[in-house]
Amino acid sequence: MTTQEALPLRFFLGLWAAAALLVQVVVIPRAGSDVAGAYPEVAHLAPPTVAVLIIAVVGLELAIVAAWRLVAIAVAGGTSTGRARRWADVMAASLTGMAVLGAGVCAYMGFVANIGGPAMLFGLLASLALIPLAVALRGWVMGWFDRSASAQEHPTSVLPTTA
């Protein structure tokens, strides 16, 4: 991967990081306080829910940092599949952790506290759907690095052709 190819990826990763930080610092706390003010009967649920959701966004931010590091490894040559594997594992684990926390909030709200209705079931299912996506993303990233390393070890221009 060239630096020119990595520039748009880094730009969008930076946008994602800025958006995640905005959601973490502004949107989630403000939404929690608005819901607590509008529905005093469930106001006691706002602080723990806000805390868990902020921690879940930390998982997203960690995945963004891991993706940034993977792009840096690819720009540097992409031959270090060991480092790439570690960062891909970090990315998949943090996205999985984020999904589990989101699913936990939705499950608690929908099935224990009995609030939220069908939206909580949808949130639970959507959160759980992120887990196989995180695993598939890790596999795709590692496949890319493995193909890149293999291409560097066995360039096609040097291989003999058979007639």
Cα separation of 50 and 32, whole Å? 6
**Digit-coded pLDDT (tens) for 23-82:** 999 999 999 999 999 999 989 999 999 999 999 999 999 999 999 999 998 888 766 678
Cα separation of 3 and 12, whole Å? 14
Whether residue 157 has pLDDT greater than 60: no
**Digit-coded pLDDT (tens) for 104-154:** 999 999 999 888 889 999 999 999 999 999 999 998 888 887 777 666 655
* The pLDDT of residue 3: 82
The number of angstroms, rounded, from the C-alpha of 97 to the middle of its chain's C-alpha atoms is 9
Query: Are 129 and 105 in contact, with CB atoms under 8 Å apart?
Result: no
Sign for the CA dihedral angle at 128, 132, 137, 138 comes to positive
Q: Domain residue spans in the chain? A: 3-149
Annotate 54-104 with DSSP letters as a single string.
HHHHHHHHHHHHHHHHHHHHHHTTS--HHHHHHHHHHHHHHHHHHHHHHHH
The model's pTM: 0.82
Asked which of 16-20, 37-41, 95-99, 154-158 is least confident by mean pLDDT, the reply is: 154-158
